[in-house]
Structure 1
Amino acid sequence: MCLFVLQTPMKKTKALIGDAGATFVNAFTVTPLCCPSRSSVLTGRYPHNHEVRNNSLSGNCSSLQWQKGPEAEAFPVYLNKLKYQTFFAGKYLNQYGKKEAGDVGHIPPGWDQWHALVGNSQYYNYTLSVNAKEEKHGDSYEKDYLTDLITNRSLNFLDNRSPQHPFFLMLSPPAPHSPWTAAPQYQKEFGDVKAPRDGSFDKPGKDKHWLLRQPINPMPSKTLDYLDNAYRRRWQTLLSVDDMVELLLKKLDSIKELDNTYIFYTSDNGYHTGQFSLPIDKRQLYEFDIRVPLMVRGPGIKPNQTLQAPVLNIDLAPTILDISGVNLSTVNVDGQSFLSQMAPSLRNGTARPFFLVEYTGEGHPTTDPACPKLGPGLSQCFPDCVCEDAFNNTYACVRTLDGQQNLQYCEFADSESFVEVYNLTSDPHQLENIVKKVDPTILQAMNQRLIKLQSCAGDSCPDFPKYRTFPLISLITRLCFSSCDKSQNI
């Protein structure tokens, strides 16, 4: 059960979407990194099927290969065929707009209005592709602050849409991604907020993959100050996202579309601030990095629902297509519609018993000059040589969550063939790796299940059955979330 803390940057969002609809307390990303996760949102596919491995062009992030393949089959293409008026604004994929991958002239198929950030998250001094034309921005809050610009252009789109056709908006603000630049009016908020010290905060990574065993424990005071500042600034940036939600819903109400529109609020990955003495990042297999927020309101969804069944980010595309009236048996997706869970009168369905989480680690082929003793192959290194990622931080996990079992089994692609197993019923913070205590027959069964999941596609991926046009708005932000760590609740 997810408990909401009293102090939060997202009070209006919780009231206007969560309290007015369904809150999924077991929502997960199938990979805890921006570009492969966003690619899964767009395609409804696991990373091993859309083949986006990391945030680099060589890792297939917004590459020409991606554009010729999975992007051409993403869910906006289907909406466009159904005469939806489609609008995108904000961060798309980390390498979008690079000259070697189509430059700003490339508009992914399916989008009528396109206002996409070139590259990774920024708040000021960025470039947009606006309907295939370059648009440069400076450092004026009134003209350039990206979260507000996304809000204003989405409101303008709603004012100018054709009432004869349904619409779909996908809004992807930078918050709370670094560099954590809050709007001027919010830069002094949450002055007393610190990253919570509960759960796995500053606990040693005992019996975990070597990358989790290398951080300094306990963390130095300067690291604590750094992550507390990051935590506080992230909250400050989210206040503008909270304003965005409020303004959007007011606009929908004023144009008489609020009760006829499905609104999704979610994120592409979780985030950690001090768990297992890792300062700040994602990319790990643990709950704090793979859990995401998910709240939905819309026609047929009763208010104040708290839903326990697991839902994945690969389920967003098929759910949106299900709402739009697409026959899902004709679509190449690994995920499934969760419309029946929110609005039981519209469909019948059952929850999936288990699912896959997979990640391909990133590293540098040469040694980091600041950390020569660590050798090559690492990346995302902080002061004191605490590194958040490595080439052999490559893993695949089976996550079982079916009301009777709450387990995680993970294998690493490294020279150790390292395995981590957690019973999250008795150990919700994943403090103890129980691989040496588990019956070998259970480990063998989990291994076989993992092998099948890693090669599954479409109907061979186990979940619930595949089975009206409405306006849709999807808000993809970067709010960290966990049902166990109060620091990450909204």
Structure 2
Amino acid sequence: MGLLRCLLICVTLWSNGVFGKSSRRPNIVLILTDDLDIAIGGLTPLPKTKKLIGDAGISFTNAFVASPLCCPSRASILTGKYPHNHHVINNTLEGNCSSTAWQKSQEAHTFPALLRADDGYQTFFAGKYLNQYGHAEAGGVEHVPPGWNHWLGLEKNSKYYNYTLSVNGKAEAHGADYSKDYLTDVLANRSLDFLQYKSSLQPFFMLVSIPAPHSPWTSAPQYEHRFNSTKAPRGPNFNIHGKDKHWLIRQAKTPMTNSSVQFLDDVFRKRWRTLLSVDDLVEKLVKRLEVRAELENTYVFFTSDNGYHTGQFSLPLDKRQLYEFDIKVPLMVRGPNIKPNQTSRMPVANVDLGPTILDIAGHDIDKTQMDGTSFLPLMEGKVNSSSWRTDVLVEYEGEGSNVTDPACPLLGPGVSECFPDCVCEDSYNNTYACVRTVAPSVNMQYCEFDDNEVFVEVYNMTADPYQLTNIAKTIDQEVLEKMNHRLMMLQSCSGPSCRTPGVYDARYKFDPRQMFPSRSRRLKKTK
């Protein structure tokens, strides 16, 4: 009996993490915000988040999204694929956002599904999933995507009050009582509950998907008067004409009216106020992990689905554009074997999140069909920067009508609310693809529009970080051709072929014959 008692005690101590931690697979937490920029100061209201995650680990200064819009970007995070492979092109059911076609073709192959089925992780989801989740034509809130042991999904788009949650497939209605309904706090409390009731015998994965700072920008009552004197940043590209840019940007009214500037300043303040509750959520989660002696064995990721703009190039409010303020997002990670106070300028994309998390779990990512690559070796300092890939793909497909009139009412269904001095940013022919390159010798962006002219925008991001000057007319033709071929390759890639070295990688020898010649097209003269 003495030996049996000793064995039982040892097993209990191991399962509770008292010893044997080195043999336990790590836990993983992904905190995903909605429309959080980094280019216009989005991290300013998040000092606790920066301290508890960024300062305690690594911050990526060149983290990009595969598409600067909620549903396509979130689909890229879940699948590890670029939009041309997961086929979610906008926020509508018709655009494959949480549609039955998405459910049949992609949901069973998301990284959380693999974590649960193949790697034995217990999984927890809370918050916004995809914009059309819960739609009656796609199974309603009764549909629980595969891969989740515990599911707390928000019906449709971001809200703070008066919403419905799917709790493991059962509808749970919420009203407007702050003490029990404010969504950011509800997500924090339910996440803490999960940490309390989860099994200690299995590693866990949590995805906490917060509505903030997405519209309608409703702050918690205690924060509604913060930042009263704050204004949207007046950088070099604020409220100016977008010279030599695509047709949509050229239509923006410059300068904006005073009422429009006041409106966007007010929205800017409201966005920051909603983030104060996000900062509280992060603190609660990290502190609870610490109290439970699980923090040292847990990776915590913090990022966003896309950036945002408030007045840049006289665009009052939105995302959807190819510029840095919309495609670059915060990305901070802390965890085992990640040294604190690190900063990396290596280019990473949100298609890399799934492969990285699977790599952490010990999954063989080479057996997946994901387009992204694991940046775990970057975080652990096990890869030389010269051997890292140099470029990522950004794709966006407009969803409005094919007209050039900026009047929003003419654009029909699927177009976002029209703000003062609005430009219809989701017009049909706001459709483009870009190669964003970050290498020791070059920092640039190359974009082509899907229009009759193949309009091209090129930016030297070192000399022109605010993207004021389109150098497509003056740059060397050989560089244009090289970037054109690289774009064609990335737009045609799938799985491993998306991870090939970039144009400016020293290992890569440029040969147009290797670049899908049947898909290459000769550049036309740009506007």
**Deviations 1:3-31 (Å, cap 9, x if unpaired)?**
99799210000000000000001100011
In structure 2, how many angstroms separate the alpha carbons of the residues matched to 1:182 and 1:376?
A: 31
User: Hey, what does 1:275 align to over in structure 2?
Assistant: 312
Distance (Å, rounded) in 2 between the aligned partners of 1:254 and 1:110:
28
1:332 matched to 2:332? The reply is no
Q: Give the secondary-structure state (helix, strand or coil) at the position aligned to 1:208.
A: coil
User: Could you tell me how far 1:407 is from its partner in structure 2?
Assistant: 1.2
Judge conservation of contact 2:62–2:346 (CA < 8 Å) in 1.
yes
The residue number in structure 2 matching 1:212 is: 249
- Contact 1:420–1:435 under 8 Å retained in 2: yes
Tell me by how many angstroms 1:368 deviates: 8.9
Q: CA deviation at 1:204?
A: 0.6
Aligned with residue 58 of structure 1, among 64, 83, 94: 94
RMSD: 2.3
1:11 aligns with 2:47: yes
Deviation at 1:364, TM superposition (A): 4.0
Q: Does 1:162 align with 2:199?
A: yes
Paired with 2:136 and 2:195, the residues of 1 have a C-alpha distance of: 32
Whether the 8 Å contact between 2:408 and 2:424 is mirrored in structure 1 is: no
Structure-1 separation of matches of 2:421 and 2:256: 10
Q: Verify the 8 A CA contact 1:83 1:165 in the aligned structure 2.
A: yes
Asked if 1:185 is matched to 2:222, the reply is: yes
Residue 33 in structure 1 maps to residue 99 in structure 2:
no
Q: Which residue of 2 aligns with 1:379?
A: 415
- Contact 2:398–2:431, Cα closer than 8 Å, also in 1: yes
SS in 2 for 1:38: helix
Question: Structure 1's 194 and 369: CA in aligned 2 closer, same or farther, altered over 3 A?
Answer: closer
Judged with a 3 Å threshold, the aligned counterparts in structure 2 of structure 1 residues 203 and 387 are, in CA distance, closer, same or farther, namely: same
Deviation of 1:392 (Å):
0.2
Question: 1:400: how far off?
Answer: 1.3
Partner residue in 1 for 2:156:
119
Decide which of 232, 238, 241 is 1:201's aligned counterpart: 238
Query: Tell me, what secondary structure is at the counterpart of 2:400?
Result: coil
Change (3 A) 1:272 1:165: same
Q: Given the alignment of the two structures, is residue 309 of structure 1 paired with residue 309 of structure 2, yes or no? A: no
2:286 to 229, 249, 258: 249
Map of 2:127 onto structure 1: 90
1:483 aligned residue: none
Q: Does 1:71 align with 2:107?
A: yes
2:384, 2:407 → 1: CA distance? 56
Distance 1:365 1:157, change over 3 A: same
In structure 1, the gaps of 5 or more residues are: 466-490
Shift of 1:365: 6.8
Paired residues of 1:193 and 1:232 also in contact (CA < 8 A):
yes
CA contact (8 A) 2:407 2:424 kept: no
Q: Take 2:136 and 2:376, find their aligned partners in 1: how far apart are those partners?
A: 39
1:62-461 correspondence runs (5 A) = 62-81=98-117, 82-345=119-382, 350-364=387-401, 379-380=415-416, 381-461=418-498
Q: Quick check: 1:377–1:391 contact (8 Å CA) kept in 2?
A: no
d(CA) in 2 for partners of 1:164 and 1:382? 51
- Which deviations, in whole Å up to 9, do the C-alpha atoms of 1:325-381 show, x marking residues without a partner? 001111110000000111125999932111211100121479999667x77799333
Give 3-state SS (helix, strand or coil) of 1:12's partner.
helix
1: CA distance, partners of 2:450 / 2:289 = 48
CA contact (8 A) 1:367 1:377 kept: no
Local SS of the residue matching 1:36: helix
Give the secondary-structure state (helix, strand or coil) at the position aligned to 1:138: coil
Match of 1:20 among 25, 46, 56: 56
SS at match of 2:325: helix
- Displacement of 1:441: 2.0
Q: How big is the shift at 1:387?
A: 2.1
Conserved 8 A contact 1:31-1:269: yes
TM-score normalised to the size of structure 1? Answer: 0.91
1:223 deviation in Å?
A: 0.5
Asked if 1 retains the 8 angstrom alpha-carbon contact of 2:306 and 2:319, the reply is: yes
Query: Which whole-Å CA distance do the structure 2 matches of 1:293 and 1:400 have between them?
Result: 18
Give TM-score, length-normalised by structure 2: 0.84
Which SS does the other structure have where 2:425 is aligned?
strand
Deviations 1:42-80 (A, max 9, x none): 000000000000000000000011001111100011111
Tell which structure's C-alpha radius of gyration is larger: 2
Deviation, structure 1 residue 173: 1.0
In 2: Cα distance, 1:249 partner to 1:375 partner? 45
Distance 1:4 1:93, change over 3 A: closer
Three-state SS of the structure 2 residue aligned to 1:410 is strand
SS in 2 for 1:408: strand
Q: Aligned letter for 1:44?
A: G
Instruction: Please list every run of 5 or more consecutive structure 2 residues that lacks an aligned counterpart in the other structure.
Output: 1-37, 503-527
Contact kept? 1:54, 1:61, Cα under 8 Å: yes
Is the alpha carbon distance of 1:294 and 1:226 closer, same or farther for their aligned partners in structure 2, counting shifts above 3 Å? same
Contact 1:354 1:462 in 2 (8 A): no
2:519 aligns with none
Separation (CA, whole Å) in 2 of partners of 1:192 and 1:385: 25
TM-aligned CA deviation for residue 195 of structure 1: 0.4
